[in-house]
């Protein structure tokens, strides 16, 4: 796979000729069938020159696909074949090439269960690239019970496509992570056991593979209480054949203060649970100033600390499937940025005539524009370049995997890049 940055005067036809790759293959790899024109500065994932197979008597598109470890649908799309049944001896079929040069990688993606059938469809569409799918989220109550959620469609879609579902449990209440709620649970052994029993029952009934505990904004004074809760729940889940993981706020030292990360004891979590998901995103966030959501220079600092206290094969790096569109000038406490998908960001840049820039330090694309009301905007998002950079970082550090927040934000390039770089580990 090659990543090509669109220049003024480029067309899909000229890029196709330059790389010897069919136009349809470029469109498929980048999800740009509905893009009316290319955008200067836009990154395109270019599949490697394909293998050419000459159809023999008795061949079908399905048998050829099986021979080369792909699917008939993919071959049909790649070759522009409208009727897969109509192939004939002597016909030449291009077989897409895959690099897979970075070895094995486990991949998780969160899905917002409120989306129901759409969330299930999102999981099914990217299932070949997922190890785990995680419906967000079960909210704990002060008495140890759990709020019910509509997770069945996501679980079904995951299991039907060989993806292991992870149950997500949060201290979320009234639209926020609740410090007091976490405290009430962590200070009461009886409530903890009730919670554990309810988690195990739910996991068995729903068909979950494992658990992810996402307690955020825990009081730093409750840090050891949180560790003790993990020590209590983990062996009980292991005895029921479930894996256990936690979500950790990003930090670069073992600071024990701070609302978001003070209670997250990296070393203890690395010792107790099976793996951790480090939420290495939201430097650029909706209420903050415009900047990259996951600048790789900052992500690297967090991971450098993480691998010093947690085994590398227990760490999943967080990565965003979204960007933000900020109105300018930015004012603290003012209008919040609008979340935008990477695919939408490219279309927006094209519609307003903006050229996409790329910040080499952050390894992130961005652009500015003025809307019809005369308001300036600054957009930061992800593309094939930024995805590849994060993937390389995870691979170079020998991490367990990558965890994406959140499905439902179209970013076709991400899965193309991921698929070309790694063998995706499957647990089912």
Asked if 2-95 and 104-424 have one fold, the answer is no
**The two three-digit tokens of residue 379, written as one number:** 């957009």
**The two three-digit tokens of residue 246, written as one number:** 């936690």
Return the CATH fold of 104-424: TIM Barrel (3.20.20)
Q: For the segment 95-143, what is each residue's pLDDT rounded down to a tens digit?
A: 766 566 788 999 999 999 998 899 999 999 999 999 999 999 999 999 9
What's the pLDDT at 399? Answer: 98
What's the pLDDT at 98? Answer: 58
**The two three-digit tokens of residue 45, written as one number:** 């994932």
User: What does the alpha-carbon distance between residue 44 and residue 30 come to, in Å, rounded to a whole number?
Assistant: 6
- Domain boundaries defined on the chain: 2-95, 104-424
Cβ density class 289-319: b for 16+ within 10 Å, e for less = ebbbbbbbebbbbbbebbbeebeeebbbbbb
Sorting pLDDT into bands at 50, 70 and 90, what band is 50?
low
Helix (H) or strand (E) holding 108: strand 104-112
Handedness of CA 189, 195, 200, 201 (dihedral sign): positive
Per-residue pLDDT averaged across 300-320, rounded? 98
Per-residue pLDDT averaged across 382-386, rounded? 98
Residue 179 has pLDDT above 90, yes or no: yes
Place of tokens 């499937």: 321
For the ranges 13-22, 171-180, 183-192, which has the lowest average pLDDT? 13-22
pTM above 0.85, yes or no: yes
Place of tokens 């691998």: 307
Per-residue CA distances from 217 to 171, 177, 213, 224 (Å): 9, 6, 13, 14
Q: Which CATH architecture has domain 2-95?
A: Roll (3.10)
Contacts of residue 13, defined as CB under 8 A and 6 or more positions apart, other chains included, come to: 23
For the ranges 74-83, 119-128, 389-398, which has the lowest average pLDDT? 74-83
Sorting pLDDT into bands at 50, 70 and 90, what band is 423?
confident
Give catalytic residue positions: 216
């Amino acid at each position: 796979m090659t990543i090509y940055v669109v220049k003024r005067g480029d067309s899909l036809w000229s890029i196709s000729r330059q790389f010897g790759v069919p136009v349809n293959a470029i469109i498929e790899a980048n999800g740009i069938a509905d893009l009316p024109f290319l955008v200067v500065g836009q990154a395109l994932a270019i599949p490697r020159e394909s293998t050419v197979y000459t159809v023999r008597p008795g061949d079908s598109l399905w048998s050829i696909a099986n021979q080369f470890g792909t699917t008939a649908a993919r071959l049909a799309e790649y070759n522009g074949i409208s009727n897969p049944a109509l192939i004939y001896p002597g016909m030449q079929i291009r077989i897409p090439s895959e690099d897979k040069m970075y070895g094995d990688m486990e991949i998780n993606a969160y899905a917002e269960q409120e989306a129901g059938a759409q969330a299930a469809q999102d999981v099914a569409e990217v299932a070949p690239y997922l190890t785990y799918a995680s419906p967000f989220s079960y909210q704990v109550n002060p008495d140890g019970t759990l709020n019910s959620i509509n997770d069945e469609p996501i679980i079904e879609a995951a299991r039907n496509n060989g993806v292991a579902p992870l149950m997500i449990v949060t201290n979320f209440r009234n639209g926020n992570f609740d410090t007091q709620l976490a405290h009430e649970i962590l200070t009461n052994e009886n409530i903890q056991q009730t919670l554990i029993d309810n988690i195990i029952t739910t996991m068995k009934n729903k068909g979950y593979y494992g658990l992810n505990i996402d307690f955020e904004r825990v009081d730093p004074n409750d840090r050891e209480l949180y560790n003790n809760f993990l020590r209590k729940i983990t062996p009980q889940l292991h005895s029921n054949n479930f894996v256990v993981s936690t979500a950790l706020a990003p930090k670069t030292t073992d600071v024990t203060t701070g609302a978001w990360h003070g209670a997250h004891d990296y070393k203890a979590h690395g010792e107790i649970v099976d793996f951790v998901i480090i939420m290495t995103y939201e430097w650029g966030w909706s209420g903050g100033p415009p900047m990259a959501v996951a600048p790789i220079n900052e992500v690297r600092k967090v991971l450098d600390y993480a691998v010093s206290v947690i085994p590398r094969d227990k760490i999943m790096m967080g990565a965003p499937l979204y960007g933000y569109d900020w109105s300018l000038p930015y004012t603290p406490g003012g209008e919040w940025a609008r979340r935008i998908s990477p695919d939408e960001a490219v279309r927006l840049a094209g519609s307003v005539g903006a050229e996409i820039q790329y910040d080499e330090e952050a390894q992130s694309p961005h652009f500015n524009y003025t809307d019809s009301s005369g308001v300036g905007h600054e957009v930061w998002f992800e593309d094939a370049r930024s995805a590849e950079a994060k993937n390389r970082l995870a691979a170079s550090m020998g991490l367990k995997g990558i965890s994406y927040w959140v499905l439902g934000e179209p970013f076709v390039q991400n899965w193309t890049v991921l698929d070309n770089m790694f063998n995706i580990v499957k647990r089912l």
